[in-house]
Amino acid sequence: MDPTTQSHPNCKRSQSVDAAGLSRWTSRLRTVAAGAAVLLFAHIHAVTLSAQPAQTAVSKPDSLTAERVNATAALPGDASSEPLGTTSPLTLNQLVADALRENPQLKSTRALWEAMLERPAQERALSNPTFEYNAMDVPDGGSWPNTEEKRFMIEQEFSWFGKLGLRGRVATKDAEAMQRDYEAMRRDVIRMVKESYFDLYGVQLSLSITRAEEDVLKRMETVAMTKYSTGEVSQQDVLKAQAEISMLRQTLYDLEQQEAILQAKINQLLNRRADAPLGLAVTSPDSTLDFDLEQLFAAAEKNRPEIKGAQAQIERSRAERDLMKKEFFPDYRLGVEYRSFGSNDDMMMFTVGLDLPIWHNKYKAGVREAEKMIESNEAAKEAAEKQTAFDVRDAQFKLHTARRTLDLYRNALVPQAQARFDASEAGYRTGKVGFLDLLESERFLLNARVMAAMAEGSVGVQTARLERAIGTDLSPAADNMDGDEK
């Protein structure tokens, strides 16, 4: 046998060892290459983040907490946090003034009130006098129309003493009741504008916070990539961070939808197109005003349009009752007649006429009707007073709860969530905390800040409802709560 063709056992073992070593080195080279690629990608990503606006560039590269503080520092009104499509600041006072001037329903009710103001003068006026001409002559051979005998008569009808004044008073009270309806609608428009404005304020502030949170998640993604490249964590951490960014964008879409709906509602109140551009809500709600409940009850009793309207209806029914009592007395007519007899002397005649109010059952029924209307309107006023008291108590307690909720978020939940996030971040960097714990603490902090923003808007909403309940704007000074609706 040829020795060159023989297979030596040691030779086979050597070839097997060399093949195994080559496989291990190939695997190591692939790992190094993958790590280098990940490090390169992380470096590029960090450079990209550093090229973003100063809002994120000033944050320390080794602190997620510092990144969050910078990203969420912007408040509504800052250029760095202004939502897309907004052009200028949107102040509450200007918005309310525009709504009171342009709202079509308010215009309609005001025009109706002003129209009813013209009725009292009509009701107090006398009816038109009548003029009558009569010509008399023989049928055959008469000189028509220039007859021998002519009659000219002027007559004026007069109501019984006091009737015209009472009719004018009834019309005046009708106009006053319509005025109170207008004032109630005016307060409703102010309330709806303020509610929508402060809802928009909370949504836009939440949008600002949520948009800034995307930078925090990207920083977390970068940290996860760095730890993955060194083999400290698995690729799952990177994928979880990327998925969280996608979920955050879904939240942004929902908030942007809410913003668009609220802007359309405000535009409707201002009689504008639904898609008319609106600026950024910059007027924050005043969370310092506070009044005693008895003081609010007193202000509501003076200013609530519904109570004033019910009182006007009572006075109208009383005037109607007095008018019906006058119907037992007759109206009368006074007239002057002039007669021309051609060849004979002319003559003048004075005439007096009276109605005969003999159908007393009719007028008695009118008096009873008016008395029942007085009873009904007095009950309606009492119901309005009780409803007002409930509205004031309900709105005052809800405002108090909204303020306590805002204080809870600002002074407890947000600081606690921030401390939890700081601890989770430090633990993740040292390998003592998993990425899921870090992600959960980030979500909790984001939710706490968003809920704080919404709670701030809720304070404004509840303030608007309390103002509607008392029928006037809240003032820093209690002695100014005497009523702005005359």
pLDDT at 81: 38
Percent pLDDT > 70 in the chain is 77
- Is the pLDDT reported for residue 12 higher than 50? no
35-49, 215-229, 243-257, 405-419, range with the lowest pLDDT: 35-49
d(CA 338, CA 346): 8
Assess whether pLDDT exceeds 90 at residue 80: no
Report the 10 Å Cβ neighbour count for 389: 17
Beta bridge partners of 158: 332
**pLDDT tier for residue 13 given thresholds of 50, 70 and 90:** very low
The whole-number pLDDT of residue 394 equals 96
Q: What is the pLDDT of residues 97-146, one digit of tens each?
A: 999 999 999 999 999 999 999 999 999 999 999 999 887 766 666 666 67
Nearest-angstrom CA–CA distance, 485 and 299: 12
- pLDDT above 80 for 165: yes
Higher pLDDT, 325 or 20: 325
Token reading at 477: 């000074």
Average pLDDT of the residues of the chain? 80
* Average pLDDT for 345-363: 90
Q: What mean pLDDT do residues 156-161 have?
A: 94
pLDDT tens per residue across span 464-483: 999 999 999 986 434 445 44
| Structure confidence at residue 143 (pLDDT) | 66
How would residue 7 be classed by pLDDT, with cut points 50, 70 and 90? very low
Confidence (pLDDT) at 408: 95
Position 216 confidence tier, pLDDT thresholds 50, 70, 90: confident
Mean pLDDT in residue range 293-303: 93
The span from the CA of 234 to the CA of 461, in Å, is 47
Instruction: Report all structural domains of the chain as residue ranges with CATH numbers, in order of start.
Output: 52-480 (1.20.1600.10)
Lowest mean pLDDT segment, chosen from 37-41, 290-294, 328-332, 383-387: 37-41
User: Taking 50 as the threshold, does the pLDDT of residue 271 lie above it?
Assistant: yes
Q: What is the DSSP string of 408-475?
A: HIIIIIHHHHHHHHHHHHHHHHTTSS-HHHHHHHHHHHHHHHHHHHHHHHHHHHHHHHHHHHHTS---
DSSP 153: E
- Between 439 and 110, the more confident residue is 110
Tally Cβ neighbours within 10 Å of residue 435. 21
pTM listed for this prediction: 0.75
**Residue 79 scores a pLDDT above 60:** no
pLDDT digits 0-9 by tens, 450-468: 999 999 999 999 999 999 9
More confident residue, 44 or 422: 422
Q: Is 384 helix (H, G, I), strand (E, B) or coil?
A: helix
CB-based burial label for 235 (10 Å; 0-12, 13-18, 19+): exposed
Which whole number is the average pLDDT over 194-217? Answer: 91
Taking alpha carbons only, the member of 427, 385, 380, 348 closest to residue 150 is 348
pLDDT above 90 coverage of the chain, percent = 56
pLDDT for position 47: 36
Predicted pLDDT at 432: 84
Question: 159-195 burial by CB neighbour count: b if 16+ within 10 A, else e?
Answer: bbeebbbbbbbbbbbbbbbbbbbbbbbbbebbbbbbb
